[in-house]
Amino acid sequence: MLDTALLKEFQQPFLLSTDMIKHIAVQFRKAMYAGLCGKTSPLKMLPSFLAAPTGQEKGAYMALDFGGTNIRALLVELYGNGHYAVIRQRHTPLKTSSYDYTADSVSAEELFDFIASEIGQIAPAAALSLGHTFSFPSYQTNINNAKLITWTKELKTTGVENANITQLLSEALIRRGLAHIRPAAVINDTAGTLLTAAYSNPAADIGSICGTGHNTAYLEPWYHSTPMIINMESGNFDKLPLTIFDAKLDTNSEKPGQQLLEKSVSGRYLGELLRLIINAMIKNGLLPAIEAKRLNIPDAVTTKDLSLLMADSVIDLTTVLTLYERTSLQQIAALLQKRSAQLTAATFYGILCHIDPKLERRHHIAIDGSLYEKMPGYAQTIQATLTDLCGKSMTSLSTGLIKNGSGIGAAIAAAMAKK
Ligand code: GLC
């Protein structure tokens, strides 16, 4: 018989009450304020040098979406009035069984030469501006100049941190005979998501990624001479009620102490949290010994397993479990998912309280990423948590999926740079 008291002990630390969520939102808002004032803050609050688009940006642009272990090159046509089309695109992994451009044994030049040759596969002969979505914390001095502060999402390629990303890309394009493809803008994927949503919806002022990584950008109304999209790098927020499992995951990670919100929220880490919990449950006699080698391999349990568990699909992790044990595992998976969506909603509420404390204007939160798009119940939990936090004002707030924001957004940014 399962020890329900002990099971509750495992579950309890993952439960967030409304008061706790409100407290996190308050802390988040304070961290935004500190970051905007240049004080020490877990939020980098990086200016993008871009405001919202008008929706009338037009023309053909190349786009590069580089945000993790896959890259995507696109040829995009913007038609104005919020309409666009992807004319050509090409997805390529940066890591396969035969090569790994994300490893520290690879140089920045090798990585960007590879990226440039991928762009070359779909680039037309005509001269075109290119927008680059580079989804890592980067310090910008203008719309086309970004310096990588530090790799996140476990990338390690040598010589990119502190380097000028646009210069690395431009030089690689020239080396590959693609001098006619000229980088014109560099943005974060959260900014790309926001730009794409705002291209057709003027109420869009928050853009977020809930996928392999987690981060949010918003349109800052007060702190710059004109409204400006700020990449918060909110994945690094750290005023959180974390559990012993979060602490263990953090200690074993590439960069302990960094990206604590991302480590408790994003798809890159939810499976690993689940693996750590399952092992602790086995150790405490809450689950029988499960014959799955991957339980001993870091990162071998993935967010997909979390979804499969919750959908009650049979996987190697559940074959020896009784119905009751399987249900207890599903409850843990559901809690991890719920906490992720609640923490994300808390940060959205913190932003809303900063930009419009009385929630008097319309706001749209545009969200991209596999968790938001594919994980059953995820979008609904964000919505329900926001409704709980905003009360009646929720009528002026909407949330919704935006697909391809990092590719299209790069093209929009390139068009805005032209002006
Ligand atoms: C990581 C990156 C951030 C990006 C996010 C989503 O948190 O640091 O720049 O926006 O992942 O891809």
Per-residue pLDDT reduced to its tens digit, 110-137: 999 999 999 999 999 999 999 999 999 9
Nearest CA to ligand 1 atom 12: 213
Contact 195, 204 (CB under 8 A): no
Strand order in the sheet with 363-368: 46-47, 228-231, 214-220, 204-210, 363-368, 397-401
Contact 366, 194 (CB under 8 A): yes
- Looking at every residue in the chain, the average pLDDT score rounds to 95
| pLDDT one-digit tens code per residue, 190-247 | 999 999 999 999 999 999 999 999 999 999 998 888 999 999 999 999 999 999 999 9
Q: How far apart are CA 352 and CA 348, in angstroms?
A: 6
Instruction: Give the model's pLDDT for residue 223.
Output: 87
- Residue 189 CA to ligand 1 center (angstroms) comes to 7
Instruction: Give the model's pLDDT for residue 1.
Output: 56
Q: How far apart are CA 359 and CA 350, in angstroms?
A: 12
Q: Helix, strand, coil % (nearest 5) of the chain?
A: 45, 20, 35
> Any idea which residue has 């035969």 for tokens?
98
Whether the predicted pLDDT of 414 surpasses 60: yes
Q: How far apart are CA 309 and CA 274, in angstroms?
A: 11
H-run or E-run covering 252: helix 244-252
Instruction: Give the model's pLDDT for residue 2.
Output: 64
Residues near 165 by Cβ (< 8 Å), separated by ≥ 6? 132, 134, 138, 146, 147, 148, 186
Contact 276, 300 (CB under 8 A): no
> In 10 A of CB 297, how many CB atoms?
10
Nearest CA to ligand 1 atom 3: 136
Which residues' Cβ are closer than 6 Å to ligand 1?
Answer: 67, 135-137, 152-153, 188-190, 209, 213-215, 233, 235, 262
Question: In percent, how much of the chain has pLDDT > 90?
Answer: 90
Nearest CA to ligand 1 atom 4: 135
Nearest CA to ligand 1 atom 1: 213
For a ligand 1 pocket test, name from 195, 206, 262 the mutation site with the most ligand atoms within 8 angstroms of its C-beta: 262
For a ligand 1 pocket test, name from 215, 266, 370 the mutation site with the most ligand atoms within 8 angstroms of its C-beta: 215
Q: How far apart are CA 398 and CA 222, in angstroms?
A: 22
Contact 177, 165 (CB under 8 A): no
Q: Which two tokens stand for residue 327?
A: 């249900």
Contact 189, 209 (CB under 8 A): yes
| pLDDT one-digit tens code per residue, 347-373 | 999 999 999 999 999 999 999 999 999
Confidence grade of residue 374 (pLDDT, cut at 50, 70, 90): very high
Q: What is the pTM of this model?
A: 0.96
Q: Which atom of ligand 1 is nearest to the CA of 406?
A: 12
Mode of pairing for the β-strands spanning 363-368 and 204-210: parallel
Contact 186, 134 (CB under 8 A): yes
Helix axes of 405-418 and 189-200: crossing angle, nearest 10 degrees: 80
- Residue 160 CA to ligand 1 center (angstroms) comes to 16
The two counts, helices (H) then strands (E), for the chain are 13, 13
Q: How far apart are CA 404 and CA 209, in angstroms?
A: 11
Instruction: Give the model's pLDDT for residue 201.
Output: 97
Confidence grade of residue 152 (pLDDT, cut at 50, 70, 90): confident
For a ligand 1 pocket test, name from 153, 161, 165, 237 the mutation site with the most ligand atoms within 8 angstroms of its C-beta: 153
Contact 160, 151 (CB under 8 A): yes
Q: Which two tokens stand for residue 117?
A: 């040759």
Mode of pairing for the β-strands spanning 181-187 and 128-134: parallel
